[in-house]
Amino acid sequence: MLNDFEYDYPDEFSESDTQEEVELVFDLLIHTTEKAFLLQFGVENVWLPKSMAIINMSMHRNTVVLPRWLMVKNGLEYYITEETLVPREKTHTEDLFNKFAKKNKKEEEDKDIPF
């Protein structure tokens, strides 16, 4: 049934993904029930549980804040922008990438030193 929104965190998401929230821009609030919102994102209509979504509607922009994993699960990544991204801690992969990039940069700088 559409209105039964009991979610367990998916196994493929890390703990930080389950706690991280993002803000998305949506077009229209189509319908509400006791437990869910039906929102229109472009040509897609998506049901989101009220327990996990906070809606802010204005004349200029409609936004919804929800967990990152729920955004990914519903394929809504297109509707997030850099300025609406809620700050989060870096992931382990990002830390490794940054260390690798710094190491390569230092190696390139060392090549330029003639001694």
**pTM score above 0.85:** no
Q: Considering Cα of 39, then 41, then 43, then 44, what sign does the dihedral take?
A: negative
Structural domains in the chain (count): 1
Domain holding 58, by residue range, is 15-86
Residue 81 lies in a domain: yes
Residues 115 and 52: beta-carbon distance below 8 Å: no
Return the amino acid letter for 104.
N
Residue 108 lies in a domain: no
Residue 93 lies in a domain: no
Residue 9 lies in a domain: no
Instruction: Give per-residue pLDDT as tens, 20-63.
Output: 889 999 999 999 999 999 999 999 999 999 999 999 998 888 99
